[in-house]
């Protein structure tokens, strides 16, 4: 199967452990084999400033962070990545694949501190210069299954009498209760129902190769 998605903005999203990074990489490799120039980014992050913000957001020490602050930090990292990397790439004819985007904010921060979807979208319009993804692929998987696949990968540094010690731990978001992640999954599903023209839901509780085939079919529809 071939796929063409030149000058398209494609997002992979879903709960932790659902396979976003794997599917984003597989799509990038496939498109490049068929002659498409591809930029793969992660949200938040990718830029120097974005990675600094990411470290603040995911540090498990920052338990006091308010949800509105959390939302605005995600948007700040996103604004830098759009200006510095994504918009120039799209303008040059490249396809951009993002591991998470505004859809994550609408799932993870919605309702916290009374945040409403309209508020989040209004801030997002400013952060991304109103350049929304052409399609957001939601990889759906039962939370029990996806959580079992999450590994500790945040590098946590602690200063001791003997110097700085580091260890790999779950990040601040991953450590939240299962009930929270169940609500996040429901929010992703609701977003797709509300905007079927921009979202597609893929059953991610299958072998990566099978999920990849579904991804290619949906990308082909972007022609």
Residue 3 maps to a domain: no
pLDDT in tens, 74-123: 999 999 999 999 999 999 999 999 999 999 999 999 988 889 999 999 99
Residue 1 maps to a domain: no
Residue 68 maps to a domain: yes
Residue 18 maps to a domain: yes
For residue 3, name the pLDDT band (cuts at 50, 70, 90): very low
Residue 29 maps to a domain: yes
Count: domains in the chain: 1
pTM attached to this predicted model: 0.89
Predicted local distance difference test score (pLDDT) of residue 118: 96
pLDDT in tens, 166-203: 777 888 888 889 999 999 999 999 999 999 999 999 99
Q: Give, for 51, the enclosing helix (H) or strand (E).
A: helix 48-58
Q: What percent of the chain has pLDDT over 90?
A: 77
CATH of the domain at 193: 3.40.50.300
Residue 4 maps to a domain: no
Predicted local distance difference test score (pLDDT) of residue 83: 98
Does residue 6 carry a pLDDT above 80? no
Residue 136 CA to chain centroid, in angstroms? 10
Provide the residue range defining the domain that includes 54.
9-220
Does residue 1 carry a pLDDT above 60? no
Residue 175 class from Cβ within 10 Å (0-12 exposed, 13-18 middle, 19+ buried)? middle
């Amino acid at each position: 199967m071939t796929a063409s998605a030149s000058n398209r903005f494609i997002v992979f999203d879903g709960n932790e452990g659902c396979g976003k990074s794997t599917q984003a990489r597989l799509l990038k490799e496939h498109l490049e084999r068929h002659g498409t120039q591809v930029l793969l980014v992660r949200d938040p992050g990718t830029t120097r400033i974005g990675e600094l913000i990411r470290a603040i957001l995911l540090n498990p020490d920052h338990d006091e962070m308010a949800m509105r602050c959390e939302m605005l930090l995600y948007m700040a990292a996103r604004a830098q990545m759009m200006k510095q990397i994504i918009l120039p790439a799209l303008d040059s004819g490249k396809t951009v694949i993002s591991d998470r985007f505004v859809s994550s904010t609408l799932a993870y921060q919605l309702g916290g501190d009374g945040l409403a979807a309209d508020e989040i979208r209004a801030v997002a319009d400013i952060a991304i210069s109103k350049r929304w993804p052409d399609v957001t692929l939601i990889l759906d998987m039962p939370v029990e299954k996806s959580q079992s696949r999450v590994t500790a990968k945040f590098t946590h540094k602690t200063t001791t009498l003997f110097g700085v010690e580091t260890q790999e731990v779950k990040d601040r978001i991953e450590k939240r209760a299962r009930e929270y992640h169940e609500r996040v999954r429901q929010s992703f599903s609701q977003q797709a129902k509300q905007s079927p023209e921009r979202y597609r839901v893929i059953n991610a509780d299958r072998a990566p190769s099978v999920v990849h085939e579904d991804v290619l079919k949906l990308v082909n529809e972007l022609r």
